[in-house]
Chain A
Amino acid sequence: MTEHWERCIRLKEPLKTKPFLIFAGIAGLGLLLGLYRELTGLGYVTGLNDGYSWGLFKNWNVTALTALGSGGYAVAVIAWIFNEKRFHPIMRTAVLTSLLGYGTGMLALGFDVGRPWNFVWLADPRTWNHYSVLWEVAVCMTSYFLLALDVENMPPFLEKMYRSGNSKKKERAMKVFNFMQKTFPFGIALAFVLPSMHQSSLGSLMYLAGPRVHPLWQTPLLPLLYLLMAYILGFSCVLLVLALSAYAWNLGWDAEILGRLAQVMSWTTLIWLVVRFADLVHRGVFGLAFTFDKFSVYFLVETTLVLVPTVMLLSKTQREAPGSLFRWTFLVALGGLLYRFTPTTLAFSPLGDYRYFPSAFEILMSIGFTALAVAVFLYAVKTFAILPASQGKIAAEEALRPFDTL
């Protein structure tokens, strides 16, 4: 396939398709259950207990899924810092996945905390405990969402304002855009520093639990490993979204972009694997991987899911074939998500005799948040010019200069 993604387009598909309605329905159900949780208390709605007090919302929707939502961050690093200009057409898709990943993650967090009315104190520096890793995550994620992510996602919106025909709106859109153009380096540096900080801090969170996290995962290198995995999952999420979108809406298959992205991802994964294994050997716990107790099994599954696809993706032919590209990327994503999730829950053994499995409500709420992200994505790509497409694709609208330069 020799199609190139040369412009960003707004899809000419109808909005209310069956998939959209299904996802919106699940999202609605999840939010309704969330309302019920607010009225009754966490104990009635979740399977959480004093031993496993962090469950699906924090450990999956935030810790694991915001790594998937690091696409905007990871691709921006490659596009701007490593100057790979070919990735510019996919930037809008990448930052959209980030917005949705972080947005729904923070929504889940909002439903998970027990006393959300005290969140206002986060704005008062006198109450800050700057030694707390969780404080860092909270302040940094909020700042990233408010200062960087929403700004990065503005161009399609500004574009729409510009097209609206209303001269006042046009003027305002251009004013904002010009400001963004002028301050771009400062903005993107923020969009690099902030997620670097909190994605690594998400790893440091479990360091405080010390011996209660199994030695195969507990290490002072947790921040580094989580940060690298954020890159890997970010790349994989963008890859998977683009692959599925290209297939679903005939966008054309830009083998160069996708192949290169997969290559970068597999190099990053190699680095991650090297760091991981070096750390295990250095701490002398590598042998624990072969005791075949449940922890060893988790480790072997996770490692296989990450290692095998990485090796396969080093081969050009594997990267060029859409089927294998998707398959290996999908498996890497599964393995990566498992890695981010495991130290918080599967490898966490609280003092005492506790067991935890999310309740049905909890599961439904969790997938509700994810479904919300998908539903909003479907809405966005049909409302704004976001997805990249080859010249042949018929579109409702194309991205407008100069808005597509950001």
Chain B
Amino acid sequence: MQSEVISSNSKDSSATFRNGVDRRTFLKVVAQAAAAVGLTGGMAAKMIAAVEKGARPSVIWLHFQECTGCTESLLRTSHPGLAEVLFDLISLDYHETLMAAAGHQAEAALEAAIKKNAGKFVLVVEGAIPTKENGIYMQIANKTGVDMLKHVAASAGAIVAIGSCASWGGVPSAAPNPTGASGINELLPDKVVVTLPGCPANPYILLGTVLQYVALGKLPELDELGRPKFAYGRVIHEHCPRRAHFDAGRFAEEFGDEGHRLGYCLYKLGCKGPMTHASCSTLHFCEVVDAWPIGLGHPCFGCTEKNVAFTMPMLKPAEIVRPTPPATYAPVTAPQGFISPIATGLGGLLVGGILGGGWMASRKLAVKEEGAAEKKADTTGTSGKE
């Protein structure tokens, strides 16, 4: 079932594409999308060829415990009308926020999509799933989230968890986690789940993953947590525009102070950049330059990392896991070694003691000898008298 999309960018050209977008614009957009996620020009051509062949993978998008921020974030890929165009690269067959259907119609659409594309569709999950007390804390159409997930995932070709909530539990899982919110990979232990954490996730990462799947028929290289390495291979600290300030020791100490105004490093304000694997430093949000936390002057709070976001206090300094040298250098000769004053005192006492002891001993021996000599003199004296 095709979602209805309103095209807003109709251009009249010799060749109009679906929904009124001309081929040139389409190519430009695809190239931009590919470039944004690091796919080469050759990939763009493959993608276009795949689309023209009519091979548009079906996407089923499920929502659970979420704020819909990831969807909203995806909708902000607005230049030019990208959302509409990309719904032509994929076939979004079920999306609770965007689809027009509701109620039984919606459920029927879901079941039909699953049956039609069994084993081939891409399942995108947004939101965490409560697991406490058999998952009764979230039900849609009388089905718990756990059941829904298991049912749809069973026939999915690829599973993508978008956002921190679906990746590891996100906000709903913050202590004390009353609903037992969990990421979907824990509930699907025997399946490969691509996780795209972030709060919200950067939409281009989803686009890149899906586009790669379209073009090459396989998922990008994942790390041990299921995160695509092309986006989550570095921590923010390793690619931050303010890194030179960190290396030179220039820090903002308080919000609004001189350093903050000059754009210095936000480490001392609790920036979790050194612990957070994400791509925000190069892939900004809402297609506005510097529209990302550090760019706006707020420290990163580690929204992609399970043990950082919603767990570590905002202002607590992050741990630098891979320290590198600062902007200063070691001198050719640096002083080494520590002399303890107590030891010096003890040493002095000992030396004094030994010298004093030797002196005393020699005195005693001299006295003893004088004593003996006197005694001898006395005896000879007395005998002499006789």
Contact = CB atoms under 8 A, between A and B. Distances in A.
Given A322-B369, A323-B365, A358-B343, A367 B337 contact: no
A52 B364 contact: no
Given A243-B365, A321-B366, A330 B358 contact: yes
B364 A359 contact: no
B125 to A, nearest CB: 52
Interface stretch (B97-105, B212-220, B296-304, B344-352): B344-352
Contact of A363 (B336, B338, B350): B350
Interface string B337-371: 11110111011001000010011011111111100
Nearest to A362: B343
Given A360-B346, A363-B343, A327 B336 contact: no
Q: How large is the interface on B (under 10, 10 to 19, 20 to 34, 35 or more residues)?
A: 20 to 34
Given A47-B337, A353-B334, 6 more contacts: A247-B361, A247-B368, A322-B368, A324-B366, A330-B362, A357-B339
B262 interface: no
B14 interface: no
A323 B364 CA distance: 7
Contacts of B377: none
Interface of A: 1, 47, 49-52, 243-244, 247, 253, 321-327, 330-331, 334, 352-360, 362-364, 367
Given A51-B337, A355-B335, A363 B347 contact: yes
B8 to A, nearest CB: 71
A50 B346 CA distance: 24
Contacts, number: 86
20 contacts: A47-B337, A51-B336, A52-B337, A247-B368, A323-B366, A325-B365, A326-B365, A331-B358, A352-B334, A352-B336, A353-B333, A353-B335, A353-B336, A354-B336, A355-B336, A355-B339, A357-B344, A357-B347, A359-B340, A363-B346
A326 B337 contact: no
B354 to A, nearest CB: 8
A325 B347 CA distance: 27
A354 B343 contact: no
Contacts of B355: 334
B372 interface: yes
B74 to A, nearest CB: 56
Given A357-B347, A363-B346, A322 B336 contact: no
Contacts of A357: 339-340, 343-344, 347
A362 B336 CA distance: 18
Given A322-B369, A362-B343, A367-B350, A330 B337 contact: no
B290 to A, nearest CB: 47
Contacts of A359: 340, 343
Contacts of B336: 49-51, 352-355
Contacts of A49: 336-337
Contacts of A362: 343
B376 to A, nearest CB: 9
Interface centre among B337, B339, B346, B361 (most CB of A within 10 A): B337
Contacts of A330: 358, 361-362
A1 B343 contact: no
A334 to B, nearest CB: 8
